[in-house]
Amino acid sequence: MVLDAFSVRVALGVVTVTLLVLFCTSFHRTRSPYAGWWSLALMEFMVGNAAFLLNGSPHQQWANPLGNVLVVAGAFSVWAGARSLRDLKAVPWQLAVGPAVTALASILENPGTNVWSGGMVYLAMMTAGIALAAKDLWLIKASHSQVHKALSLAAGLLAAYYLGRWVVYVLEGPGGETFRTYFGPGPSGLVSMVLLVTVSFSMTALTSDQLIKGLKERAARDHLTGLLNRGTFLDLATTELNRLHSTGSGAAVVLADLDHFKAVNDEYGHGAGDVALRAFAEACAASVRSTDLIGRYGGEEFILFLPGATQDRAESIATEISRRMAATPTPDGVAFPTISYGVTSSIPAGADLTFMIEVADAALYSAKAQGRNRIVGADRLEAAIIADEARS
């Protein structure tokens, strides 16, 4: 029995409209990127399948290519949504190339008389878009829900189905009995309907996981600079230092303080002070490795934890931060403050983080006492203390 393609497409349209209304509401409430992409995909699927309903009418000339393009665009929007769950973005040209190639192929194959104009390219692009979505869904690192694995398998099965459609289309064409029975518009519409409902149901868990991840990230970071807040920094640095000591490695700690920061606020206003804090945070981020930790320790004081770094290396990084800060363009009439640093490092079986911070703080205090705008390492601080004791 061959399913009635028109009836299946009408049913698919009704289901799609219902889901679109539900998830446009969800996107309006949560502003989740994935919900936005999924809502866009549903809209593209809805309008594309509505265009196919005009096959056999005088409008087929433009409606058929339009339907092909929009349905393919929907598949690539699903892929973009899957990438958003991995905090990745799809490049615009990557989203456009599939629909563009489909449009060209459809226009070149007499869409006014051929309802399968561009069919081979259409099926290939659908396979590619859904397969890419399946891959990115599988690679999601979700902490609260593993539903993305099941969703990835569902997308993979749909990609395999479209690949089967493409193979049979190439071998026997759209008029073949196997194609019409198992891979024609009717069966494919039924498969799409089931998967649309399945994907939409799973989206709630995926969106919740994304929102929880975002809330955790915001709670762990300083809202002004985007750096780790003090509590999160100390937790992460303590864990990392314990790991380093267990493997016989060490680390360095840098405490930094913006000199005469209160004067910047008093003279130029708190807006200028905020700009200076953000500029310093950006200078820090540009000077360290991705494995290093940077935190706002309090007010205008910052802290860096550098796994595996020697004291000399840590002092070189402090120098680079100051260089970048000095090279940062400032608002008209505003002068950014200089920076004082206290630096220390641990030995493989050395002190805990609290002691390292105390030593770095003493070195920072010495830097301020010596006139600010300088780097004082714990080794030089110790030498200065010994010299003072000798003179006394």
- The CA distance from 117 to 103, in Å, is 10
Site of tokens 């008029």: 175
Out of 44, 267, 300, 301, pick the active-site residue: 300
According to DSSP, the β-strands at 339-345 and 375-377 are parallel
Structure tokens at 236: 């992460």
Bridge partners of 344, per DSSP, are 253
- The CA distance from 170 to 311, in Å, is 66
DSSP H stretches of helix in the chain: 5-30, 33-52, 60-84, 92-108, 119-138, 147-172, 177-178, 185-219, 230-246, 261-268, 270-287, 311-327, 353-369, 378-391
Instruction: Please confirm, yes or no, whether 217 is among the known catalytic residues.
Output: no
Burial of 198 (0-12, 13-18, 19+ CB in 10 A): middle
Site of tokens 């393009």: 69
Q: Helices 378-391 & 353-369, crossing angle to 10 degrees?
A: 60
Q: Minimal CA–CA distance to 141: which of 88, 86, 211, 90?
A: 86
Compute φ and ψ for 207, nearest 5 degrees.
-65, -40
- Is the CB of residue 294 less than 8 Å from the CB of residue 288? yes
Q: How many residues belong to the chain?
A: 392
Residues assigned a catalytic role: 300
